[in-house]
């Protein structure tokens, strides 16, 4: 009989605790559907490779990420021609990286550019790739050698 007498108070206490916890912890909003007044920022990583004459890697080239009329990020190629350009707060509400952005190889060429392809996600970041970007010096010294 004692179990039945305890059942109602235990139920009431459980219900009361549930009410308290529900009020104390409202569900956080989904990060992928932010309210319209808040801009949607997320990290983006752009990778690619710059190749020059006879497909040799170009080291020390400056690459910039341009979206619309804005320059958003900058990186340099390594000894193997590869670059990794990180933008920690890419404005997804303003730009679509695939349709609105290009990677431009600025120095020493100031000509070649490439569009981005979305590769997927890694952690919280969106990964994009340009693949290989082929560039040629306007004053290329290599072409004198066979």
pLDDT digits (tens, 9 = 90+) for 15-28: 555 555 555 545 55
Instruction: List, for residues 84-125, the tens digit of each pLDDT value.
Output: 999 999 998 899 999 999 999 987 766 689 999 999 988 889
**Average pLDDT score over the chain:** 79
Chain-centroid distance of CA 61 in Å reads: 21
Is pLDDT above 70 for 64? yes
> What is the per-residue pLDDT for 5?
66
Domains of the chain by residue range: 41-137
Q: What's the burial of 122, exposed, middle or buried (CB within 10 Å: 0-12/13-18/19+)? A: exposed
- pLDDT tens digits for range 26-46: 555 545 544 455 557 889 999
Residue 57 pLDDT > 50: yes
Q: Considering just the CA atoms, what is the radius of gyration of the chain in Å?
A: 27
Q: Are strands 125-134 and 41-51 parallel, antiparallel or unpaired?
A: parallel
Look up residue 139 and give its two tokens. 């004053």
Residue 7: predicted pLDDT: 65
Domain 41-137 has CATH 2.60.130.10: yes
| Residue 7 token pair | 């059942």
Q: Residue 59, SS3?
A: coil
């Amino acid at each position: 009989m004692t179990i039945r007498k305890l059942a109602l108070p235990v139920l009431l206490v459980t219900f009361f605790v549930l009410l308290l916890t529900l009020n104390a912890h409202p569900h956080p909003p989904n990060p992928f559907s932010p309210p319209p007044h808040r801009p949607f920022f997320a990290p983006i990583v752009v990778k690619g490779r710059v190749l020059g004459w006879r497909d040799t890697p170009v080291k020390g080239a400056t690459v910039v990420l341009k979206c619309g009329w804005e320059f958003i990020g900058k990186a340099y190629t390594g000894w193997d021609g590869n670059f990794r350009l990180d933008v920690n707060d890419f404005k997804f509400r303003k730009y679509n990286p695939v349709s609105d952005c290009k990677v431009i190889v600025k120095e020493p060429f100031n000509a070649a550019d490439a569009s981005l392809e979305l590769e997927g996600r890694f952690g919280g970041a969106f990964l994009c790739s340009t693949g290989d970007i082929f560039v040629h010096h306007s004053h290329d010294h290599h072409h004198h050698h066979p």
